[in-house]
Structure 1
């Protein structure tokens, strides 16, 4: 079991994994809030919720180079792959995954920023059992987890930045909430973290 991430925490992915990491996976899971009671029916409780995992690739100067998301399932260089869009949260475990071959990420890419957006627009208070996590891609052991079950009027989160530093990959748990149905709407909030 990995560490539970706190906002602003920085960790060395290699140290958490116990070895040099070559592959990581961002997993995202959730369930729709169950319909229940008269008020739930009156105020639109329940229904399908479509959370989306995205990975934005930035260069040394903070320029957006590429985005992996439900409309582009592979990075242009092929080092990052999205397993596909899940629109309901049905099923156990991760509902969406983004797989990253760190060894193949081009040298000009300094930072990978992982985000979660609610494409259907509901705020996170209407989403049950929502989490995102980083796994060691070699053995699927969990390195770090972020609980998204925070209540509130936001429908997006900048989860974490994975970045190169002194020859190793590190992770900064950003945990900043925002508004936006797609990752590109979070760019003004992401830029200060680059």
Structure 2
């Protein structure tokens, strides 16, 4: 059974999965909010393009590499993005980032996952936005973070997966922000490293 994470919560991924995790998948899913037409009929959904990113940081909090829609694979090959979904249509995860924890370079201490509205809408125009961590070996959900804070923000620092005493842990950051890409969130990410 997956843990529903709340803002600021920290968990051990291995403990929650009941096994040592070697691969994880961060899934991002969403649906566009339907706009209402005349008297509530004939509405349509605006195109909303949310983007998942994974930032790799070293012990000194230096950015080592980034996996996002413009670079779908880390330079070392340990992290792979499924590709850019520009609509949120369909069931399940709309974008996924797969991480082979056994191949993440030893100098990388933390992985920070972000979501940005590339098309600029704020999250009040997005339905069912969730971030979840899956055990990459069996696709079992380990943890879920509902992006339920609706409002004027167009980005969120979702979570940090980091090394601590020989195991990988997860910190649900859940901090809202603004910006079309991870670059706009860098000043907010730095204090969490």
After TM superposition, the score normalised by the length of structure 1 is 0.95
Matches within 5 A, 1:105-124: 105-124=104-123
Is residue 25 of structure 2 the alignment partner of residue 25 of structure 1? yes
User: In structure 2, the residue corresponding to 1:104 is in which secondary structure?
Assistant: coil
Q: 1:51 to 1:113 in 2, by over 3 A?
A: same
Asked if the contact 2:37/2:44 (under 8 Å) is kept, the reply is no
Q: 1:40 to 1:54 in 2, by over 3 A?
A: farther
Runs of 4+ in 1 over 6 A off after TM superposition: none
| Cα distance in 2 for residues equivalent to 1:170 and 1:112 | 10
| Cα distance in 2 for residues equivalent to 1:45 and 1:180 | 25
After TM superposition, the score normalised by the length of structure 2 is 0.96
Question: What is the deviation of 1:36?
Answer: 1.0
| Cα distance in 2 for residues equivalent to 1:121 and 1:159 | 18
| Cα distance in 1 for residues equivalent to 2:89 and 2:39 | 24
Question: What is the deviation of 1:184?
Answer: 1.3
User: How many corresponding residue pairs?
Assistant: 192
Alpha-carbon deviations, 1:19-50, whole Å to 9, x = none? 10000000000111112134999xx9831000
Alpha-carbon deviations, 1:55-113, whole Å to 9, x = none? 00000000001000000000000000000000001111000000000000000000000
Matches within 5 A, 1:1-194: 1-38=1-38, 46-194=45-193
| Cα distance in 2 for residues equivalent to 1:7 and 1:129 | 17
Q: What is the root-mean-square deviation in Å for CA atoms of aligned residues? A: 1.6
Gaps of 5+ in 1: none
| Cα distance in 2 for residues equivalent to 1:191 and 1:60 | 12
Gaps of 5+ in 2: none
